[in-house]
Structure 1
Amino acid sequence: MTTIAPFAAGSYATSRSTSQLLALKSQLNDLTTQLGTGLTAQSYGGLGTGRSAALSAQASISALDGYSAVIDTAQTRAKLATTSMTQVVTVASNAAAALQNGLQSSPAGSQAVKATALNNFSAAIDALNQSDGIIFLFGGRDGTTAPVLDTNTILYGTVDANGNTLAGLKTLVDDQVKADLGTGLNGRLTQTTTGTAVTLTEDTTAQAVSPAGPFGFTIQSVGSSNPAALAPVTNLAAPASSTVTVAAQPSDGDTLTFTLGMPGGGSTTVTLTASKSTGAVASGTFSIGADVATTTANLSAALSSALQNTAAPALSANATARASQNFFTGSAKGNVVPERITFTGSVPSYTPGTATNTVLWYRGDDSGGDPRATQTIQVGSSSSVQLGVRANEAPIRSVLAGLATVALGIPANSATSSAYAAVAAQAAPLLAAGNTGSSVQDIVTDLSLASARMSSAASTNTSQKSTLQDTVDGIEQASTEEVATKLLELQNRLQASYQITASLSKLSLTNYLS
């Protein structure tokens, strides 16, 4: 009799028993793996319906890890940039304080102030070339190259690769001083004496310059304490002039006050005092002569000397400050070249500078717009922080111009008190850009706020990541206690199944009947 194996008596029960044993063995293997790895499954396919949530959460965690890495790098940059800008604020404050202190000391101390200003200028330049090892921080969108040239090149110029001589700030200052003082070193005023009248006239060539303003002094007014004797008449129509007629002998102590405007704003005064002394007279005084003609000659000589003594400190300091501000408008990538002064004989005029004759101190990005927006840091899925800075922002340029005004404006020899005071008056408003008005301190504040926002974003990201990780762990991680319990139960069941199967395998008809 032939038997078909699959349908033989008892074959189904045997097959079923075998399948159950294999299933139990497979469950045992799975539980053993879970206990060893701590994972519910070795692939997302094994997670069942939880795999979509796990994949979504893992993607969010990866994004948060990316934001954290960016924030860590950006925080380093923010701290370095803040430190650098704080240094600029500090050197500006120190320079301003040293200037004010110097007003109370002897002129010989001016050289220490001059040297300190030069050192502070170099320190500010170094701060503006700060790098985090990856990019330069103060070049706006361009962080690949140092945004600012070195101190020596900025101040004293260089020769480029093509052999062109590029003028530095010192050359621009010297040209401006020369143009403002004029050949007579009196602020380009023309002085004539006719009979008993002394006339001052503005330089007509010096008025025909725009928009930089005139060279030298302009005449604003002339006042007399005794108009009956010293009678001034002023005509302010360009070119302005003023004539002082010695109508009678002045009295001892009578004064004439000339108010003279300076380029770019501001004014200074020249005061002459009549003296009955017949000997040598002090600066700013003129002797009352034996007659009106002699007094007129004495007045003319005193005015000529006083104009030179006033122009030397006041106009030189003014010219140094203006030339410095003009120089720091330069930008290589912005195609901005400072105006230059050229001389036709003794007549100066402003002409456009070129990149082949003038140092362009700033080499970074200058594409316009908000400097902070030149570096945007993504710190979250819908939040960003702006961390850009340009070394040629207006407050920074003002501080550099102020430091340069002190370093180049104070004469190399011991300055007179008037020269020192003139430099201090011109430099102080520029140095104030370190911490007043629209200032470098404002940049420090912007960077500090950006750093605080990044710290807040980092904390938020950490909290979000922790929540998402809990979700992932709940899906992917297997509970050790639960797995161990299931494993023990399964082992007991499997052992019992093996024992029953072993017993059944030994069963025979004889054993069964007995």
Structure 2
Amino acid sequence: MIVNKSMFPLTTGFSVISKMQDQFAQLQMQLGTGVKAQTLSEMARDLPVSLSVRSRLTTISGYNASIEQVDLRLSFYDNALTRLDQIEGQARNSAVQGQYGSNNINMATISSLSKARLDEMVTLLNSDVAGRYLFGGSVTDKAPLPTTTELLDGAGGRAGYKTVVTERQMADLGASGQGRLTTTLATLTATDPATVNLTEDGDHPFGYKLSTVSAVGANIGIVSDFATTPADIEFTFPAPPATVEEGDSVTLGFTLPDGTETQVTLKAVSAANANGSTNEFVIGSDAIETATNFETTLKNTLKETAESELRAASTYAAAQNFFNAAGEPVLRVSGADPYTSTSLRVATKTDTVMWYGGQTAAVSAVGMGRLTSARAAETVTLTENIPVSSAHGFQISGVTSSVTNAGALTATHTPGDPASMSVAFDDTFALTAGDSVTVTLTEPNGTSRQVTLTAVTGKAGPGQFTIGADEAESATNFEKAMIRSVTEAAAAAEGNPRQSVTAAVEDSGRVAYGMQANESGYLRMMRSMAAMTVETYPEITNATDPNSVDLDPAKLRFDAMARRQQLELSEGRNAERGSIELITMELGIARAGIQAAGDRHTNYKAQLDNLLSDVETVSKEDVAMEILALQTRLTASYQVTSMVSQLSLVNYL
């Protein structure tokens, strides 16, 4: 500041000195603190920038806190999944067909070892981090699973898995122990052929289901009917002088309750060469005697196989019923007498322990949302699975069609339990490109989804089916397209378990890391561990001959159980959706995502910190120079003002 005539009048000079004193005080404060201002009002034109940068830094701090929390949970998931993978491998190696151990030690210990693994698995799935349970999807305030004891033994009058297994085995084996199959011997006289009928005892999901039959030798007549329900097979034994020859055999194929297949073979032997094996039948002196021996052998073989293959299949079928998957209800044998039951029923929370209590999808892409398709000639049907559950799977609400030539197809909706729809094609009226069928499916929450299939003349794309050369081909094409489209609708309704829990880690991105304990990888382990826990392998005396050369039935049962565990926990399932391996990979991607977001925040924060420093802080060296300059000007101003204030005519003269 230059002291000149502008200092006059005197009041103006005092005002300028006061402003310099204020500036001097401000510079001293800046020199001492390193910041430009002590209050927001002193920020002047830098205030908007300061507020904006500080707001952004606060947001980044929130994202970093979220990233830190998610990273902690992902670390827990990583440890848990690593241990679960180890348990899966140990279980897979603990029970191997034919490896019974010294003095059958493997058979004796497999149950207790499986229970220990099951208990550890339940503990892992019920673990929490800071009071937040991580394997129940968005349900984080309670453990997703009951205790191991409750799962196996039940609680409060509600049945556990052991009860469900017992009921299922009774229903599958039947009172006779023949797997719900009955035999009938029909004879006339010793000079006539004799027949043995093998028949399923009703239309139900239990026991053996006849699937195939074949014979070696042309001496046993076989007539089978697998298309009707119940299926049956008739065996005819020739009348003398024709006879069954030694070496002739019959092989029967069965579908078991868990969906697996098994076979038994009955061999014809002479009395001299019989060695007491369960599957041998002695050639008699006439058709009646041969047929009688065949029926006896058939019954004994059915009973022996029932104690191994069928019982193991029943145990695993009970595991599928009790440890329900997403979109499926818990099922139990219906009726007061399981031996004669003809259906399954939906279990309730009041009579059965529900194994999983976390978040879950009500509709699953597996099994088309509890719908089944079928085709008979030119008619395609879609039916709800029984037993029907209003809380699980799609309900068929209606079907409509739009056709150019009336009668080219007829779409019909049949309400009820179960509801169904059918589409019948008729070649009398030709299909036209653009003709369509729309099926309305309703989810348990009331949401409706429409699946529309449109006829085309060329290659069919999504939502289309190709018009065939005749009504049967059109029906076949329509069914394939319907299965594909309904499965896609079910997948959309099911959603992704990972999306059940998400966290914001940056403005334009969220990380999804939800976990549900009923995903397929965990589910297969739960079913297998529980099945191996409840099954035992007592020595069973051969029903026909205690000195039989047949393999010990207990070992046959162990082999059947071991084979199923190997199948359930096979490495070949690693690529399935929901497997532990795929979940681990998905969480690895999530972790990489939050780490990348964290790195971006770190770099951005450094830039914002520099900008904020430029706006809010000062260089002490520059301030010191300003203070020296101001001090010089202020001193000069004091002197001039003092001199001017003392001016008078006398002093002037």
TM superposition score category, shorter chain reference: 0.7 to 0.9
Deviation at 1:335, TM superposition (A): 10
Partner residue of 1:158 out of 155, 158, 173? 155
Residues 335-379 of structure 1 show CA distances to partners (whole Å, capped at 9, x for unaligned) of 944344334484113222221101011112236532222212111
Which residue of structure 1 aligns with residue 574 of structure 2?
Answer: 435
1:316–1:409 contact (8 Å) kept in structure 2: no
**Partner of 2:352: helix, strand, or coil?**
coil
Deviation at 1:285, TM superposition (A): 1.9
Deviation at 1:135, TM superposition (A): 1.3
For the pair 1:173 / 2:313, whether they are aligned, the reply is no
Deviation at 1:261, TM superposition (A): 2.3
Residues 448-471 of structure 1 show CA distances to partners (whole Å, capped at 9, x for unaligned) of 111111111111111111111211
Give the aligned residue type for 2:87: V
What pairs up with 1:315-464 in 2 under 5 angstroms?
Answer: 315-329=310-324, 336-344=329-337, 346-348=339-341, 349-366=343-360, 369-411=495-537, 416-432=554-570, 435-438=574-577, 439-464=579-604
Moved more, 473-482 or 74-83: 74-83
Give the root-mean-square deviation of aligned CA atoms: 2.9
Deviation at 1:326, TM superposition (A): 1.5
For the pair 1:231 / 2:370, whether they are aligned, the reply is no
Larger Rg: 1
Which residue of structure 2 aligns with residue 301 of structure 1?
Answer: 296
Partner residue of 1:268 out of 251, 262, 275? 262
Query: Is there any run of 5+ residues in structure 2 with no aligned partner, and where?
Result: 1-5, 188-192, 363-494, 540-551
How far apart in 2 are the matches of 1:111 and 1:133? 40
Percent sequence identity over matched residues?
A: 29
1:325–1:398 contact (8 Å) kept in structure 2: no
Query: Is there any run of 5+ residues in structure 1 with no aligned partner, and where?
Result: 1-9, 160-164
Deviation at 1:251, TM superposition (A): 3.7
Residues 310-349 of structure 1 show CA distances to partners (whole Å, capped at 9, x for unaligned) of 0111111111111111112278xx9944344334484113
2:28–2:627 contact (8 Å) kept in structure 1: yes
Which residue of structure 2 aligns with residue 485 of structure 1?
Answer: 625
Specify whether residues 337 and 269 from structure 1 end up closer, same or farther in structure 2 by C-alpha distance, changes over 3 A only.
closer
For the pair 1:193 / 2:333, whether they are aligned, the reply is no
1:95–1:117 contact (8 Å) kept in structure 2: yes
Q: If the length of structure 1 is used for normalisation, what is the TM-score? A: 0.86
Which residue of structure 1 aligns with residue 123 of structure 2?
Answer: 126
Which residue of structure 2 aligns with residue 94 of structure 1?
Answer: 90
Deviation at 1:498, TM superposition (A): 4.5
1:89–1:435 contact (8 Å) kept in structure 2: no
Which residue of structure 1 aligns with residue 80 of structure 2?
Answer: 84
How far apart in 1 are the matches of 2:200 and 2:98? 35
Deviation at 1:387, TM superposition (A): 1.4
Residues 16-67 of structure 1 show CA distances to partners (whole Å, capped at 9, x for unaligned) of 4433332222222111111111111112222222211111111111111111
Deviation at 1:181, TM superposition (A): 0.3
Deviation at 1:192, TM superposition (A): 2.6
Specify whether residues 14 and 326 from structure 1 end up closer, same or farther in structure 2 by C-alpha distance, changes over 3 A only.
same
For the pair 1:258 / 2:252, whether they are aligned, the reply is yes
How far apart in 1 are the matches of 2:329 and 2:233? 40
Which residue of structure 1 aligns with residue 112 of structure 2?
Answer: 115
2:185–2:197 contact (8 Å) kept in structure 1: no
Which residue of structure 1 aligns with residue 474 of structure 2?
Answer: none
Give the aligned residue type for 2:334: I
1:84–1:130 contact (8 Å) kept in structure 2: no
Which residue of structure 1 aligns with residue 176 of structure 2?
Answer: 184
Deviation at 1:104, TM superposition (A): 6.7
Paired residues, number: 490
Larger RCO, structure (CA 8 Å, separation 6 or more): 1
How far apart in 1 are the matches of 2:333 and 2:297? 34
What pairs up with 1:232-251 in 2 under 5 angstroms?
Answer: 232-236=222-226, 237-247=228-238, 248-251=242-245
1:103–1:420 contact (8 Å) kept in structure 2: no
How far apart in 1 are the matches of 2:33 and 2:538? 79
Moved more, 459-468 or 237-246: 237-246
Residues 134-170 of structure 1 show CA distances to partners (whole Å, capped at 9, x for unaligned) of 41111111111111111110111000xxxxx100011
1:261–1:267 contact (8 Å) kept in structure 2: yes
Specify whether residues 367 and 345 from structure 1 end up closer, same or farther in structure 2 by C-alpha distance, changes over 3 A only.
closer
Specify whether residues 91 and 401 from structure 1 end up closer, same or farther in structure 2 by C-alpha distance, changes over 3 A only.
same
Deviation at 1:245, TM superposition (A): 3.1
Q: If the length of structure 2 is used for normalisation, what is the TM-score? A: 0.69
How far apart in 1 are the matches of 2:598 and 2:584? 21
Residues 253-296 of structure 1 show CA distances to partners (whole Å, capped at 9, x for unaligned) of 33222222223433211112233354752232233445554444
Specify whether residues 412 and 225 from structure 1 end up closer, same or farther in structure 2 by C-alpha distance, changes over 3 A only.
closer
**Partner of 1:311: helix, strand, or coil?**
helix
Higher normalized strand content (fraction of residues): 2
**Partner of 1:144: helix, strand, or coil?**
coil
2:331–2:344 contact (8 Å) kept in structure 1: no
Which residue of structure 2 aligns with residue 65 of structure 1?
Answer: 61
Specify whether residues 145 and 447 from structure 1 end up closer, same or farther in structure 2 by C-alpha distance, changes over 3 A only.
same
Higher normalized helix content (fraction of residues): 1
How far apart in 1 are the matches of 2:31 and 2:502? 47
Give the aligned residue type for 1:183: A
